[in-house]
Structures are given as structure tokens and as C-alpha cells.
Structure 1
Amino acid sequence: MKDVDPSVNVARVLVFRVRFLEQAELPVWKGNIIRGAIGSVLPKVCGFKRLNCGKCLIWYMCPFGYLYRARSKGIVLRKLRGVSKPFVLKPPLTDARSFSPGDMLEFSAVLAGDAVRFEKDLLVSVLELGGRGLGVKSARGRFEVVEVAARNPVTGFESIVYRGGSFFDSRAVVTVGDLVKRASEISSGKSLQASFLTPYRVVEGGVAGPLTSFESLVKSALRRFSVIMPQYMYVNPVRDVGKLLEEARKVGLAGADLHRVPIVYRGKREDYYVGTYEFKGEIGMDVALLLAFSELFHIGKRASYGHGWPVFLPG
């Protein structure tokens, strides 16, 4: 991304820390229920009683339309209505299901590029959700939002944007320059460990399953990068896909420790995977940028619900 201004905003990461006021039961996989619950409240916060996003001509001006029903702006994927959404949930990493009054829960929301303009709408929706409750239908519990922080996961800088009923301004954003810094760290060794914090699945050759090579990892990261960057940041830094994949093929798979995780989605069981990959070979900066981007925006199917959250450790 040598020709992209390093000050371009890539993402805003909002960390929500909530405390339950009532007993609540949540599933082990919490990404779907949290993102879905926020989405059920957001239209009401915006004043809508009924939604008809499919026929709406100003969806890009609407918090719900933009964050949950985004369409191609014609910059990329011109023939497709649906594109990668600018709101990615980073779910709680606990397997706990039962939450008692006083128990804390933490999750994050990543807003891509120009979607940050709907930050307050998202925040107010979570505040409203607290009064309605979160959990499975038979055991929803109300919660209070203790605080919300804007965090830069590359630098570790964090500042409060909500606490005690008050809102605060913050300049904590992730920029292109931060991505370059993180990419430099990822590419600093001759081996790379990729750990998936949340269950993932990718599609290769029309079949959904686990990653089978470093090249398939890069392809999965590239798919989201090449849509989200132009769609929401209005820059398209990918110049030579063939060269990127050629570099990726030179990095070998040294080992993998994966576990299958069955998840039921709309009544249908789907197999996802968690675990760690070990790769051997030198990682170039262009490839490392894709990996740094995927730490923010994930890879694979249903990434916006929190699936496919990788973390990379160079060796």
C-alpha cells in the first residue's frame, strides 16, 4: 500500500463492557445472538417500525441499512447486491453459558472506513438492548453498559467513549499506517503461527471446510480486503493478485492442530473449525498486509458475525 496515504482511517474498534443485572443464559457461540440482537434494536433506535431495505434508495444514509444491509456501491462486485458488511462483531471468547447478576461480558464492534459515522447509533442500540435483555428466549437478562472504549489493537491505545451515561470524543482509530506497522511485525520471521480465536470455515472449489494451505489463507484474506477497502475506504491497493498468490505458494504448511466445531445456523448444522496452523517460509509485506487486515475483519463465511478471527505470531 505504498501509494495509499498512511493516515487513511481503516477501522474504529469499539469495546463494550457490560454487567448483567439479571440471570441470563447465552449459547456457547455468542456471535450470532449478540449481532442479531443489536440488529433487532437498531431500526427502532432509528425510528423505523417497518423495514423494506430491498427497495430502499437511501440505504447508505441509514445506520441499519449501511451496517446490516450494505450493497455494492458499484466500485467492486457491480453485479452483486450483497457485499461484505462494514460492521464486524468480535464476540466474547468465553464458553460460559450462565451469567448471574454482577457478571461481566466483553465484546467488540469493528466499523470499517466511512461506517464510523454510525458509531453513536450502534452505541445507543447496545444501551437500548441492555434494557430489553440478552440471551436465549427462555432466559434473557437485562444488563448495563459499564463503559465503551475505542481501542487501537495495533498500538494498544484505548480511550473511553461512553461511561456513566456520558459520551466522550476519541481519536482512537486504526489507520493504514497502523496496518503497515502490524504487517511489518507479521513478516519479521521465517515462520508464522496462525491461531483462530473463533470458529471458521472457508469455501474452496465450491466446498466449505478448513484451510488447506497458506495460499488458501491468503486467498480468503484477499477476498475481504479487495471488497472492504474500496467499498468503505475508497482505495484499492491491490495491484497484482497473481504476484501475491505466487508469493503465498512459496510458504509451506508445517503443521496444524484443528478441532471441528458444529454450529446450528437457522436449523441447519454446519461444521466450523478452530485451532492453530504452523507455516514455514518468508512472508512478504504485501501478503502480511492482507493478514494484518484479516485480524481486524476476519476471514471466511459469516465473518461479520465474528467467525474466522485469526491472530498471527511470527517465529
Structure 2
Amino acid sequence: MTVLALPPNFTLVYYRFTMTALQPLHLPTYKGVALRGGLGQTLKKLTCNQPWTCEKACPRGNDCPYGYIFETSPPDGAEVLRNFSEVPRPFVIEPPRDRRETILPGEQLSFGLILIGHGMNYFPYFLAVFRELGWQGLGQGRGQYELNTIDAISPLDGVVEPVYRADRPEVRMTRLTPTSQAITDYAASLPAQRLTVEFLTTTQLKHQDRMLEVGPPFAVLVKALLSRVSALSYFHCWQRFETDFRGWIDRAAAVRLVQDKTYQEAWSRFSTRQTERIDRVEKRKRIEMGGLLGQVTYEGDLAPYLPLLVLGQLIHVGKKTVFGNGQYRIMEQ
């Protein structure tokens, strides 16, 4: 069978940020919430000179750095995906998976940042925001930190390029941007008949309008990945993903789920922008963030889907990926 061809113009870059606590950092167990929240609030302060005009939505849309990064809107005259309920953001925060809730002075914390397509041009904003956030403070009590280093990392072979050092004035741009062809070539080295997918962060996948509470059938995972790649390609890489979506999903049903070691982990956050009325009182809305963790093993003709699965490792899958949800890795048998 022909291998599923990825969009040729799909590009991304992976950065690793490392910071040192100057004061105690009191963070939630799932640190993506604090990192994404601090990013949004600080980016708006740094880039918006009339923040009171965009309480509901940024009036400048994609012309504003905040509007593009946090409230991406479909371009004028969009030919496809007009009814897409929420345009995916051009970034993914990959928080540390350790469960420390207090980072003591002198201790370090690292997290990943994936920028996709046009979003890669906004790296200077992310650098400025996370430097500024270090002085404003992060988490409960607003503990200060110093941003020490930023490295670009090739997710396919682990090659590292230094991008930023706190003790040096220059910021280097990176060439470590894996292409669709490089991803396809890498995927060819993976097992083609049996592999295990491990969900590393809570993953929310829908099937028949319900959130899955067990390991996803292979066709469900493929459908979610195709949808995400298609939307990211169209809105941020400016290229339609031309492929036989229905055919790929139907053929994926022949791949068997032979072992399910997944489990549910529940957690939630309170939105700073959305509210709900409880007992006649307007309160911040609770957002459910939990989902699947653990491993699923598939058997069958996996070779055509391997490039899609490898790309999915980099961009995550399912809902709430900007917080770090939906991260998985392929485990070779």
C-alpha cells in the first residue's frame, strides 16, 4: 500500500527552555496550565496597547501577535474548514512531566515549545515573554526565575543547537526544522506490523461524540491525527492537505488493537476568561483537562500510517494540546 504522504510544506521547530528558580515557584502538578496562562497574560501586556478592547476577542485578529498566537482566526476567503469549531493554535507547550509542585531557589525547570508553520516567525515574542515572565513571576505567589538557555532540538535525531544564553547578547536562529520528507524517511525505520503507542500526557479523543475512556481503536487515532494535521497545514502552513481522508480512515479499521493498558486520569483547571452561573453566582468556569494515559498496542499493516504517527508525536493529538495534552511516543517492540 502507498505510504500516506504528509503535506510537503508542513514545517515545525522544537525548542527546549531551561530556567532556574530565584524564588520558590509554586506550580500546579500539571505545569502546562501555569506556563500557558503566564504566556498569554504577558504576551498581551507586551504587545497590546489597548487591552480593554479585546476582552472577548482581539479586534485585530491575525494582524496582532497576540491575536494570531492565541485567537487564530480563519483567513479571509477561507475555502475549507470554515466550520472548524476552533482553529488550532500554532504552538504546543510541552511541560515537564515531573510532579513537583514547589521548585526551590537554585533548582531548574525545563519545558518544550513546538512552533508550527508561520508560527515559527513568532519565536522572538516567545523569548521576550518568557524572559519578562521570569521577572513578573510565575505560578501562585508569583515566584521569580531566570531564563537560562533555549536550545533548538531536532526531534528525529536529537541534534542540539544553542539559540539563547542568558549571559550572551546574541540570539541565533535555527535550521533544525524537520521536513515532511525527513519525517517520512525516519518513519520507514519503524516496525511496520506491530507497535505500541504510549500516551505521556492526558489525551482527549472523541469517538461518536463521546470522549473515549479506553484505548482508541487505530482508526479513531488516525482520524484525529488527520484532522489536526489538515487544520494546522491549512491555517499555519498555508497549504491544503490533499489526501483520501475517508479511505485512510476506513483502511485503518483493519489494524487491530491487541493490548490496551490505558487508564483515565482526571484533573481540571479554572478558566480566567470563561464563567458559569452556579447558584445565581457568576464563577470561573471549570474546564475538564483529564484523559487517557498509558499504552495501546496495534497490529496490522501499519507501514502506510507511520509518517502520520511520527508527525503526531511532535504536534500532539486531541484536545487542549497548547497545555501539553495529547503527547505520545511510539515504542518499538
Q: Do the two structures share a fold, i.e. TM-score over 0.5?
A: yes
Deviates most, 154-163 or 172-181: 172-181
The Cα RMSD (Å) is 2.1
The structural deviation recorded for 1:63 is 1.7
- Which 4+ residue blocks in structure 1 deviate beyond 6 angstroms? none
1:282 corresponding residue in structure 2: 301
Say which of 292, 295, 298 aligns to 2:316: 298
1:196 corresponding residue in structure 2: 199
Deviates most, 269-278 or 298-307: 269-278
Deviations 1:16-55 (A, max 9, x none): 0111111111111111111111111012222434152866
Is 1:255 matched up with 2:259?
A: yes
Find the residue that maps to 1:147 and give its secondary structure: strand
Say which of 83, 88, 94 aligns to 1:84: 88
Structure 1 regions of 5+ residues with no counterpart?
A: none
- Give the distance between the partners of 1:271 and 1:229, measured in 2 at CA: 27
| 1:56–1:268 CA distance, 2 compared to 1 (3 A) | closer
- Give the distance between the partners of 1:268 and 1:58, measured in 2 at CA: 27
The structural deviation recorded for 1:157 is 1.7
| 1:142–1:300 CA distance, 2 compared to 1 (3 A) | same
Is 1:219 matched up with 2:206?
A: no
Find the residue that maps to 1:245 and give its secondary structure: helix
Letter in 2 for 1:193: T
Q: How does 1:260-271 map to 2 (within 5 A)?
A: 260-266=264-270, 267-269=286-288, 271=290
Q: How does 1:96-115 map to 2 (within 5 A)?
A: 96-115=100-119
- Give the distance between the partners of 2:287 and 2:60, measured in 1 at CA: 34
Contact 2:24 2:104 in 1 (8 A): yes
Percent sequence identity is 24
| 1:17–1:3 CA distance, 2 compared to 1 (3 A) | closer
Contact 1:197 1:308 in 2 (8 A): yes
Contact 2:192 2:303 in 1 (8 A): no
The structural deviation recorded for 1:109 is 1.1
- Give the distance between the partners of 2:44 and 2:331, measured in 1 at CA: 40
Say which of 63, 72, 84 aligns to 2:74: 72
| 1:13–1:76 CA distance, 2 compared to 1 (3 A) | farther
Taking structure 1 as the reference length, the TM-score comes to: 0.91
Find the residue that maps to 2:224 and give its secondary structure: helix
1:121 corresponding residue in structure 2: 125
Say which of 154, 157, 161 aligns to 1:155: 157
Contact 1:71 1:81 in 2 (8 A): no
2:235 corresponding residue in structure 1: 231
Structure 2 regions of 5+ residues with no counterpart?
A: 271-285
| 1:268–1:58 CA distance, 2 compared to 1 (3 A) | closer
Letter in 2 for 1:224: R
2:185 corresponding residue in structure 1: 181
| 1:252–1:114 CA distance, 2 compared to 1 (3 A) | same
Aligned residues: 309
2:208 corresponding residue in structure 1: 205
Deviates most, 290-299 or 267-276: 267-276
Taking structure 2 as the reference length, the TM-score comes to: 0.86
